[in-house]
Each structure stands twice: as structure tokens, then as C-alpha cells.
A and B are shown apart, each in its own frame.
Chain A
């Protein structure tokens, strides 16, 4: 036998010997890319301050993860894109008017306390960006609820404080909301484009839907969570959202306002903090929609997406235990 050939160093490992090209990093960066349209619209409507806010949020998120891993002598994982994504999501969920220490505090809470301390990517119980935002909302309630009118591009106009559509809806009702926008057609158009008060990245429905379409196309998300989320919210809005009588609410107003779309497509679908089995995902999404509307209609806050998702995040381990897959052959098909 040819000895040279047999002394060759061969790799020995357990099967399978081929693997797909998909990586965690590719998924994370793709989700960030899917949020670019929303970020761009936010920059367009809310100006340089919005860009700077998002930048600080991303920079501090990535830096926090880097320093934590450096300090703890762990492997550096910032290239997996998850800290970047958390920073971007947090930035998109802040009002453009906040002072610049707000994204700094939020990013540290998101990455350090919500993710790294629990063990890093894959081990966190709550959506990091949402915990960061919840922390900010509770600690700085004033700053986090000052909304400014979109200044349309980088045109030099002094920002004017105003209420968000959900704020108007909560305080003054639907009619006042539609009047503010000059009729329902105008209202819907403004909601679709994003020309309204709100967090930087949550206002443009078109941009968010474009990003979501990309994620569906890449199969990075499936319909189960977003559709059950939006479906149950729409149902709640229709049944209980009207003035006085049941079944007179306007579901579309609720679906297009606040953080509903960014929440349903980009936050509730976070792999780590949502159920892994499809049946469980439907319950999870429906729960998110239900709690969102419960808070919007009956709670003290005008917006409920954030708390709804965080509450359902806590229930995820339980849902995962309750909804397991069925082993092949458990139910037998008819003999054919």
C-alpha cells in the first residue's frame, strides 16, 4: 500500500459532514438590514437628531458587549451582529427628542443587564431592546413621552412638541385624531408613510412592511407570531375599541399606530425570547396582541406593545413546555 497516502491527516468527526451556509451572524445582520428602510424614514422625518440617537444606541450596545467580554475574559462575539441589532432596535424605539444620555443608559441596560448577565446571546429571557426601553420609560417618564412633530427631512424647522396618534386617541378620542390629520384618508396615508409623531423607527408602516417582506422572503420569520399578534389585536380593537357600543372599533387605526408593526414583525419574532414550536408561537402572538390592546384600551399608558411582548417573553418557557411537537407515527394514518 502507498504509505504516503495513508499517513495523510484526515479529519474525523460525527456525521453529518456537510452543513448549510446559514449562520447566526447572517440572520442577525439580515434582520438589521430589514430595519434599514424604517431607520431611513425615521431619519427623513425626524432629522439629524434621530440619526445621532440611533448611532449612539448602536455604538454603546456594541461597546458594552465588547467591554463585558473583554472584562470577563470571554470570547468576543460582537461580530455576530446581535448587539448591533439590539442597539438599532432600541434606537428605533426612542423619541427623537431625547437627550443623548438616554440611548446610552438604555443600551447598557439592554445589553449588559438583559443579555450578557444572563449568559449572552441565546440565554436571555427578555427581548433586550424592550427591557432597555421599559427601563427608560419608567425611569425617565417625562423625557420618554415628549414627542415632536416630524420636521420633514433635514429642513431647518424648530421641532414642535405634540401628542402621538395613540396619545390623542387615548385622551381625546378617534374623531379628534382624524380631525388632527384632516380626515381618515389623510390619516391613513400619513400613518403609512410615517409622517406622524412617535418613536424614530415605528412610524412608517410602508418601510416596516417592506422590511418584514424581506424577512418573510428569506424565511427568517414565519407568519405564526406576527399574524396572530396583529390578528388578535385587530379583533380586540374591533370588538372593544369603539365608543360605547361593541363591534364598532377601527382595527386599522390601532394596527398602524404606535409600535404595533415594529413590535409584531421585528420584536415579538425574536427567536431567543419567543416559543420555538409553531403552535406555541400562535398562542404567544395572540397573547401579545391581546395584552397590547388591553393596555391601550384599559391601561394607564397609551401604548402597550412593549409591555405586552415583555409579559409574553416571561411566559415563553411555559408555552414551550406546554406545546411540544408530536413524534412521527404517534397518530397513524388510515391504511392505504
Chain B
């Protein structure tokens, strides 16, 4: 099989061996959960519960406001004990509901659908929406929005993103190894909703066993293919993945639907299946807890709203040399300033790095114009120019170098021999000018 690929990209050490063989396990239930009302891109939810109120597991606690939004549900049964602003992984404050867990695991009534395959596209889309499903790769874009393309954008291809190109992370890999059939079932639901006859699961070929597993699960269905992809970061970036799988290139500032494609994450596919089959809302997700500074790396099925500190305690705690704790992967994740932030629907990993691999420094050197960043930029930008212009405060000029086409994958910063914080310069420039 020829490997799908794209121009540019980098090859950081993948470090997946720390957690790749750890079967997904269920941690002990947290004493309380802090559930954010803003776990997705779009309008925050409106709380529909009050302090003191009892809630059941799966009960809706925040309702979606507007089309680009997704409801949130309680991940435990218990009592609402607080509401207010709490720190989130991105460093900003967000409106949260705190629920004390009564450890009873009492579910709200879910609608079981053994015949879910007979439901109409409309009904299935509604189930995805009600389940509060968002993109689980990190961006957390509400899934039902992607499943409602405008008429003038015909979709003919659904891609499931199994690249998992971020080093360290193994959550999607474990799901592919343990729940391959559910992923395929979820993909079929997505294809039905979009009325599409072509589905593909794209997987980096450093996971040959996952490729085999998915091929086995999709056997006998001609509409679904499994595509091996070259191991290269950022293979899982939406535009790169679409190019690698279909050869189509999403135009600058365009969306996948502009080339007839909808991309969903592995975790999202599982959640879509569970929503369609069991009516189960998105209240838990697989999180890879790993890094050199975690005592026992694990892949955990974590209830949404569990604090990072609880998750880390479940993995034996941090080693003393811990320098940085990251929500997400090492290339695009957020460094945490406190461990008292909750896991959200978009949290793919919790990564504790020791002093050595962090290599953070407040010192960087001038650009020597070596061009490495230009060679690796998957978007075909000139990061060297962006960083120099931003450093000099020439933000308006940096737009000439396509500032807003940068999606901050960090490849440039990874390769820069002068250790320039290019992504930081790009973000600074973006915050100073309008697109």
C-alpha cells in the first residue's frame, strides 16, 4: 500500500512506547467533578441546574446556546455544590458547575436503540447533537455542525483521523486496538448522516497493528478503506490528513467541506456510535496520562470534569523532576500552571515532562535564515519572516506573509536552531491585527 503524505513536517521522537501497551482502564471515581460549560468552540452553554439540586449521571446540566454549541451532561450522580468561574487548561477562566459525586453511578434514563441502523439521517444527527459530541482531537468543534454542511457544499468523503501524530499520545491507538468495531460502526453512522458512500480511516504506519485491526473491523464493507500514512508530524492536522488520504487540498482559509470532506476523530467516532446505539451522552473520554515525569503512564477512561490532579494521582503521581504538565500533546498542548483544572471533552492527554526534554529557555538567538522552518512548514509559509516581523512589531506586514494561514502546529519552532519561539511570535501578531 502506498503511504499517504504531504509536503513538509517533522519527525520528533514519538515516545509512544511509554503508554501504548497500557489497556484502557477505569480510574476510581472522583469525589467531585468540575464540568465546564464551555468545552467546545462556540457559544458557552447555559446552566439548567441549581446549586443544591441532585443530578443523575448523563443528565443535561448545560443547554446549548445557538447552533455552534453543544450541551454538557453530568458525568456522575450526585449534588450540584457550586457554580462559577474556574481555571481551565488554556489558562483562561471558564464557567463551571461543580458536582459532588454520591458514588451511586445512577444513570438518567437513556434511550436504547438496538435498531439504530434503521434511523433516518435526521434522527441520527439529532442524537449526535443531544449527546453533546464535539471533536475529541483537541479543537472541540461541535460534531453536529460538521454534519450539517450547507447545500452548496456536497460531501462525498468521511475521514476518521487515526493519525495521532502528536508524540506521546496513545488514546486513539488504544481505542483502535480495543474498540475497532465501534469505530467502524460510528463511521457508518457518520456516513449515513452525510449520505456519503466513501469512508476512510487514516492511520500513521508506526501503528501497523492498529491498521490491521481496523482492516479486520471494516472487512466486508467496500465503502470503507483503511489508509496507511507516513509517520510525520502534523499528519493528523485536518488539511494534511485530507491531502494524504484523498490528494485534495483545502484552499487557504477554507474548510474541509470545500473539498467535499468531513473529518472526525477516532474518539468522536466511538462517541457517535454510543450516542446512536445507546443514547449515551459524551460524559467520559480516553485520556493518555504519560511523560517521563509520570510514575505509571496509563490510558484512562476519565469522566469529564475530573481534575487533572486526580487523574495524575491515579497514575501514581508526579516524579520530583517534573518541570511541566501539559494538557494535550507536546506539540500543540497547553502548559498548565495549576493541576486543579478539569478534563474536558477535548483533553486527549495529560503529559508530565521532566526538566530535560522541556528545554524551555528564556533565551533565543537571532534568525540565521537557515530556512529549516520554511522546509518543514506544512502550510507552505515562511515562519522565519513571520517571527522576525512580529519581533519587530511589524504585525500588519506579517499579513503579507500569510500570518492567518498558520495553524500553530509548532513544526517551525521544533526545528529552529536558534530556538526562536516562532509560534509565540505568530500568536502575538495574530492578537494585534485583524485577519
Which residues of A come within 8 Å of B, CB atoms? 1-2, 5-6, 8, 10-20, 22-24, 26-27, 77, 80, 119-123, 271-272, 274, 276-278, 324-336
Q: Mark B183-194, 1 if CB is under 8 A from A, else 0.
A: 000000000000
> For residues 368 through 408 of chain B, which have their beta carbon under 8 Å from a beta carbon of chain A?
368-372, 374, 377-382, 384, 401-402, 405, 408
Which of the segments B99-107, B169-177, B353-361 contacts the partner chain? B353-361
Other 15 A-B pairs with CB < 8 A, given A5-B313, A325-B382: A1-B310, A1-B340, A8-B318, A10-B323, A13-B360, A15-B410, A16-B414, A18-B12, A18-B357, A122-B369, A274-B369, A325-B374, A327-B379, A331-B249, A335-B248
Q: Is B49 an interface residue (CB 8 A)?
A: no
Residue among B309, B331, B374 making CB contact with A15, cutoff 8 Å:
B331
5 interchain residue pairs of minimum CB distance = A16-B410, A122-B366, A336-B247, A329-B249, A14-B424
CA distance A271 to B365 in the complex (A): 14
Give the residue name and chain of the A residue nearest to B250 (CB). A329
Give the residue name and chain of the A residue nearest to B418 (CB). A24
CA distance A22 to B249 in the complex (A): 31
CA distance A335 to B260 in the complex (A): 9
Contacts of A271 in B (CB 8 A): 368-371
Residue among B310, B405, B408 making CB contact with A327, cutoff 8 Å:
B405
Give the residue name and chain of the A residue nearest to B371 (CB). A276
Q: Is B58 an interface residue (CB 8 A)?
A: no
CA distance A80 to B419 in the complex (A): 13
Nearest-neighbour CB distance to chain A for B235, whole angstroms, equals: 14
Task: Given the known inter-chain contacts A329-B251, A332-B249, please indicate yes or no for A11 contacting B366, CB distance below 8 A.
Answer: no
Task: Given the known inter-chain contacts A6-B338, A276-B382, please indicate yes or no for A16 contacting B239, CB distance below 8 A.
Answer: no
CA distance A27 to B368 in the complex (A): 11
CA distance A123 to B67 in the complex (A): 51
Contacts of A325 in B (CB 8 A): 374, 377, 380-382
Nearest-neighbour CB distance to chain A for B108, whole angstroms, equals: 28
Q: Is B167 an interface residue (CB 8 A)?
A: yes
Task: Given the known inter-chain contacts A11-B324, A20-B414, A336-B246, please indicate yes or no for A328 contacting B380, CB distance below 8 A.
Answer: yes
Q: Is B295 an interface residue (CB 8 A)?
A: no
CA distance A152 to B409 in the complex (A): 56
CA distance A35 to B106 in the complex (A): 74
CA distance A123 to B392 in the complex (A): 13
Task: Given the known inter-chain contacts A6-B339, A22-B415, A24-B368, please indicate yes or no for A15 contacting B381, CB distance below 8 A.
Answer: no
Contacts of A335 in B (CB 8 A): 246, 248, 259-260
Task: Given the known inter-chain contacts A18-B414, A336-B247, A336-B248, please indicate yes or no for A327 contacting B380, CB distance below 8 A.
Answer: yes
A-B contact pairs, 29 of them (CB 8 A): A1-B310, A5-B317, A10-B323, A10-B325, A10-B336, A15-B331, A15-B423, A17-B360, A18-B12, A18-B167, A19-B419, A22-B372, A23-B419, A27-B368, A77-B365, A120-B366, A121-B368, A271-B370, A276-B371, A276-B384, A324-B401, A327-B379, A327-B405, A328-B249, A328-B250, A329-B254, A330-B252, A333-B247, A333-B248
Give the residue name and chain of the A residue nearest to B428 (CB). A14
CA distance A24 to B366 in the complex (A): 10
Indicate if the CB atoms of A17 and B330 lie closer than 8 Å.
yes
CA distance A15 to B307 in the complex (A): 22
Contacts of B243 in A (CB 8 A): 328, 333
Indicate if the CB atoms of B252 and A327 lie closer than 8 Å.
yes
Contacts of A20 in B (CB 8 A): 10, 12, 414-415, 417
Residue among A11, A276, A278, A331 making CB contact with B323, cutoff 8 Å:
A11
Q: Is B333 an interface residue (CB 8 A)?
A: yes
Indicate if the CB atoms of B322 and A8 lie closer than 8 Å.
yes
Contacts of B415 in A (CB 8 A): 20, 22
Give the residue name and chain of the A residue nearest to B401 (CB). A324
Give the residue name and chain of the A residue nearest to B424 (CB). A14
Contacts of A330 in B (CB 8 A): 251-252, 380
Indicate if the CB atoms of A11 and B369 lie closer than 8 Å.
no
Q: Is B421 an interface residue (CB 8 A)?
A: yes
Nearest-neighbour CB distance to chain A for B234, whole angstroms, equals: 10
Give the residue name and chain of the B residue nearest to A336 (CB). B247
Q: Is B334 an interface residue (CB 8 A)?
A: yes
Contacts of B340 in A (CB 8 A): 1, 6
Contacts of A16 in B (CB 8 A): 330-332, 410, 413-414, 423
Residue among B331, B335, B369, B384 making CB contact with A10, cutoff 8 Å:
B335
Indicate if the CB atoms of A17 and B309 lie closer than 8 Å.
no
CA distance A6 to B424 in the complex (A): 26
Indicate if the CB atoms of A1 and B309 lie closer than 8 Å.
yes
Contacts of B353 in A (CB 8 A): 17-18
Give the residue name and chain of the B residue nearest to A271 (CB). B370
Indicate if the CB atoms of A277 and B382 lie closer than 8 Å.
yes
Q: Is B120 an interface residue (CB 8 A)?
A: no
Indicate if the CB atoms of A10 and B324 lie closer than 8 Å.
yes
Give the residue name and chain of the A residue nearest to B308 (CB). A6
Nearest-neighbour CB distance to chain B for A249, whole angstroms, equals: 33
Nearest-neighbour CB distance to chain B for A75, whole angstroms, equals: 9
